[in-house]
């Protein structure tokens, strides 16, 4: 504007010089209109021949009745300069401030912080306009003021500094907001917003209240950006002793809905909720107090979808030395004097009690909704793998360690240590028993035959294991013969020694002879002299050590004479009992210290 005025003044000066001796001055206004003005109103002064009014009156441009010192009755074009993609810290040079009335700044790569240089002439009143013509969301920061895109701000020189009128956005107190009269939104223009309460100590700085809200949300935080990596909602505090928690949800009235609900229907590999407590020592990372709850749920974490695979609905993790933690990473405690009800329940599937139940009386149920013992385990499903009530993997059982009250297992047997000086083998006895009399077919002389029928004949034994065995065979076989004992099968027998006793008797059970012998192998061993008896009872008791090859053990007998079909019958309740007692080198079990 100053340049335009300069042109007009020069024009005035030229006309006045050409008519200095005349009584009138011809001038041209900014619209091209030529007018004649009495020269008596103008004088030329100073070495620069400045033109000024002869009287202290107003000057009008396109106005013959000026109402101010300078009255422009038409439009005004101000001289502006322009810059593009300045440095992020741009200083408007003195020459631009002196020679122009403003600058247009266009940013396409980043926002910029702008500083106005002081004019060379410090006279107050100079005006300078900043225009943000950026094509993207890049604001201009001028001191404590922000100039958004497609906006202009006029700065005024007060003689020592530039000041910004209200046309440039600045911090506005919340108390300056007026009541809304319609549905509206607030756009922050991509500028970070900060609300600060730096002095008050006992007030609630931010309160949202509603007396009639029914189905809407009192406070909503929404983000539709698919590329967001920051937080949609963040609460942080440097307070060292908050009495009610850094974030506190307080519901003072009875309600049937959820006090706090977090829905995330689209989470694929992230976490719906994360609580980091890296410096926590004695407090709680999450504390939920539900003092009057009756039938609801204090904390509910649910998933109705079927997409959860490698994630967890609830995960508690930490890197805490065992010596510093006393209450556990995860603690569920009932501090009331109660012995009834359920303290904790984990349901594995749709069946009630299918998981873990902890009662207030201390009873723990696995697969039991109402455990009646300190540890109550549901029974297994017969014939279904993976449904056993209790399973223990094999370990190394050391005789040098005394840990009374424990049950252990190695690759061969289970052990129990009832006191500090003894460990015993828990019987894992297997039985083979004849339920109905077993009548053999024709048997050739001196040919081994199985004591038990097909399907029961072979007993499976493990490698490198020592067994104690016991057997009683009830046999009906009329005729004179010698009975021998032996063992077949596929397992490798390292050694075997047992005591065999044969009792001969009449059909009515009267004993007629007893013979006893010691056997030190699985090979054929005669148990009696030839005799004609109606009934024979054979009793075996001894130790078998199985070598490196597991397999089968088949109890057998042999007769010195041939028997026709139906001649030999193994009677009901004849049995073979086998008990593992250790590895195949075992020497002592129990009474150790």
Give 136's Cβ-side CA count (13 Å radius).
9
Which of the residue ranges 164-168, 200-204, 440-444, 445-449 would you say has the lowest mean pLDDT? 164-168
What is the pLDDT, as a whole number, of residue 49? 47
Q: What is the pTM of this model?
A: 0.50
Q: What is the mean pLDDT of the chain?
A: 78
Identify which of 179, 118, 172, 107 has the alpha carbon closest to the alpha carbon of residue 145.
172
- Binned at pLDDT 50, 70 and 90, residue 19 comes out as very low
What DSSP element (H or E) covers 98?
helix 94-99
Question: Is residue 52 within a helix (H) or strand (E), and if so which, with residue range?
Answer: strand 50-53
pLDDT band at 391 (very low <50, low <70, confident <90, very high): confident
CA distance linking residue 539 with residue 69, whole number of Å:
138
Backbone φ and ψ of 104, nearest 5°? -100, 120
Q: What is the pLDDT of residue 208?
A: 76
The confidence score (pLDDT) of residue 231 equals: 72
Based on its alpha-carbon atoms, the radius of gyration of the chain, rounded to whole angstroms, reads 52
3-state secondary structure 56-104: CCCEEECCCCCCCCEEECCCCCCCEEEEECCCCEEEECHHHHHHCCEEE
The DSSP bridge partners found for residue 358 are 344, 364
Residue 308 has a pLDDT of 67
CA neighbor of 91 nearest in space, from 78, 108, 103, 109: 103
pLDDT for position 431: 95
pLDDT of residue 54: 47
The pLDDT, as a whole number, for residue 485 is 96
Residue 29 has pLDDT above 60, yes or no: no
Q: What is the pLDDT of residue 153?
A: 85
DSSP state for residue 443 in the 8-state scheme? B
| Secondary structure letter of residue 226 according to DSSP | T
Classify 194 as helix, strand or coil: coil
Task: Please report the pLDDT score of residue 537 as a whole number.
Answer: 95
The pLDDT value recorded for residue 193 is 62
pLDDT band at 503 (very low <50, low <70, confident <90, very high): very high
Weakest mean pLDDT among 6-15, 23-32, 202-211: 6-15
What pLDDT, on a 0 to 100 scale, did the predictor assign at position 71? 76
253-282 residue pLDDT tens: 666 666 666 666 565 556 667 776 666 666
Alpha carbon distance 216, 254 (integer Å): 19
Beta bridge partners of 297: none
Mean pLDDT of 47-66: 61
Pick from 245, 242, 251, 335: nearest CA to 293: 251
Q: Grade residue 541 by pLDDT with cuts at 50, 70 and 90.
A: very high
Contact 556, 389 (CB under 8 A): no
pLDDT at residue 83 above 60? yes
- For the cut 70, the answer to whether the pLDDT of residue 112 exceeds it is yes
Q: Which of 52, 87, 82 is nearest to 70 (CA)?
A: 52
Say which residue, 340 or 482, is predicted with more confidence. Answer: 482
Residue 146: strand pairing partners: 141, 169
Q: pLDDT band at 31, cuts 50/70/90?
A: very low
Q: How many C-beta neighbours within 10 Å does residue 139 have?
A: 20
pLDDT (0 to 100) of residue 48 = 46
* Mean pLDDT of all residues in 439-460: 94
Write the pLDDT tens digit of every residue in 120-155.
998 998 988 988 888 766 778 887 777 878 888 889
Smallest Cα–Cα separation from 303: which of 351, 265, 337, 275?
265
* Pair of tokens at residue 85: 């993609």
Give the residue, 234 or 49, on which the prediction is more confident. 234
Q: Among 264, 255, 260, 247, which Cα is nearest to 214's? A: 255
**Residue 267, CA atoms < 13 Å, CB-side half-sphere:** 17
Lowest mean pLDDT among 109-118, 287-296, 539-548: 287-296
Is 80 exceeded by the pLDDT of residue 544? yes
Average of per-residue pLDDT across 285-305: 69
pLDDT tens for residues 325-358? 777 777 777 777 777 888 888 887 888 778 889 9
């Amino acid at each position: 504007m100053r340049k335009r005025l300069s042109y007009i003044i020069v024009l005035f000066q030229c006309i006045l010089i050409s008519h200095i001796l005349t009584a009138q001055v011809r001038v041209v206004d900014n619209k091209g209109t030529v007018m004649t003005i009495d020269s008596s109103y103008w004088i030329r002064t100073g070495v620069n021949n400045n033109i000024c009014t002869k009287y202290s009156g107003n000057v009008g441009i396109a106005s013959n009745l000026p109402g101010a010192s300078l009255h422009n009755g038409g439009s005004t074009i101000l001289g502006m300069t322009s810059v593009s993609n300045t440095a992020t810290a741009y200083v408007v040079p003195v020459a631009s401030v002196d020679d122009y009335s403003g600058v247009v700044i266009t940013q396409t790569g980043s926002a910029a912080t702008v500083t106005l240089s002081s004019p060379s002439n410090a006279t107050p009143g100079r005006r300078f306009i900043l225009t943000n013509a950026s094509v993207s969301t890049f604001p201009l920061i001028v001191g404590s003021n922000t100039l958004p895109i497609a906006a202009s701000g006029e700065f005024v020189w007060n003689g020592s500094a530039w000041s910004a009128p209200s046309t440039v956005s600045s911090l506005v107190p919340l108390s300056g907001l007026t009541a809304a009269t319609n549905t509206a939104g607030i756009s922050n223009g991509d500028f970070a917003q900060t609300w600060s309460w730096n002095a008050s100590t006992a007030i609630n700085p931010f309160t949202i209240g509603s007396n009639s809200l029914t189905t809407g949300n009192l406070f909503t935080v929404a983000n539709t950006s698919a590329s967001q990596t920051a937080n949609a909602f963040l609460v942080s505090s440097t307070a060292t002793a908050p009495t009610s928690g850094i974030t506190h949800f307080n519901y003072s009235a009875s309600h049937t809905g959820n006090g706090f609900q977090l829905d995330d229907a689209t989470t694929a590999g992230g976490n719906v909720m994360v609580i980091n407590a890296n410096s926590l020592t004695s407090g709680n990372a999450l504390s939920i107090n539900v003092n009057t709850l009756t039938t609801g749920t204090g904390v509910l974490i649910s998933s109705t979808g079927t997409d959860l695979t490698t994630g967890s609905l609830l995960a508690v993790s930490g890197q805490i030395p065992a010596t510093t933690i006393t209450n556990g990473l995860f603690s569920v405690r009932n501090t009331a004097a109660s012995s009834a009800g359920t303290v904790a329940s984990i349901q594995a599937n749709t069946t009630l009690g299918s998981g873990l139940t902890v009662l207030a009386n201390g009873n723990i149920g696995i697969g039991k909704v109402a455990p009646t013992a300190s540890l109550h385990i549901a029974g297994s499903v017969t014939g279904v793998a993976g449904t056993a009530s209790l399973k223990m993997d094999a370990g190394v059982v050391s005789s040098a360690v005394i840990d009374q009250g424990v049950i252990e297992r190695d690759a061969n047997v289970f052990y129990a240590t009832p006191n500090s000086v003894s460990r015993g083998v828990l019987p894992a006895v297997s039985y083979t028993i004849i339920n109905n009399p077993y009548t053999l077919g024709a048997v050739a002389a001196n040919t081994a035959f199985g004591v038990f029928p097909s399907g029961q004949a072979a007993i499976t034994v493990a490698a490198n294991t020592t067994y104690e065995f016991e057997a009683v065979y009830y046999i009906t076989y009329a005729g004179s013969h010698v009975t021998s004992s032996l063992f077949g099968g596929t397992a490798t027998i390292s050694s075997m020694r047992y005591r065999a006793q044969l009792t001969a008797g009449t059909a009515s059970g009267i004993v007629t002879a007893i013979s006893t012998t010691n056997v030190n192998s699985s090979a054929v061993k005669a148990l009696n002299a030839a005799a004609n008896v109606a009934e024979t009872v054979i009793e075996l008791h001894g130790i078998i050590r199985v070598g490196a090859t597991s397999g089968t053990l088949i109890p057998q007998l042999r007769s010195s004479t041939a028997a026709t079909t139906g001649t030999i019958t193994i009677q009901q309740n004849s049995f073979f009992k086998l008990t593992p007692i250790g590895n195949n080198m075992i020497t002592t079990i129990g009474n150790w210290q």
